[in-house]
Amino acid sequence: MKSNIFQIVLITLLISINCFEYIKYTEEDEISLITISRPKALNALNSQVLNELSQILDSIDKSKISALIITGEGEKSFVAGADISEMFFLIKKGSCRVLKERK
């Protein structure tokens, strides 16, 4: 239990000082906004984006928000899908892993 609280506090701190490389998070008037920020890659999802997104989703106090908006930065694409170049590397390396199902 203590490690969960510590993790939530740490992630909340990281969010507040925008320490994530590819995810931006804001909260205003019970609305949370998550922006995936890899516009040069058309916001393609790589393992780092997915990890950052998972950390933020786990840390949000869902009782304090009424809406969650997920968007992508840039003009061309919300999210292009999986980052194929990383998938190819992970499969070749033999370290492809399946994301755990969210509760």
Helical spans, DSSP H, in 17-98: 47-59, 84-93
pLDDT of 14 reads 62
Q: How many CA atoms lie within 13 A of 33 on its CB side?
A: 10
Nearest by Cα to 39 from 75, 81, 82, 83: 75
- 67: tokens are 């809406």
Instruction: Please say whether the structural domain 2-93 has been given the CATH code 3.50.50.60.
Output: no
- Average pLDDT of every residue of the chain: 79
Helical spans, DSSP H, in 1-103: 2-16, 47-59, 84-93
Task: Name the band, by pLDDT with cuts 50, 70 and 90, for residue 13.
Answer: low
CB atoms within 10 A of CB 14: 17
Q: What is the pLDDT of residues 49-93, one digit of tens each?
A: 999 999 888 888 888 899 999 999 998 889 998 888 877 666 665
Nearest by Cα to 22 from 35, 13, 31: 35
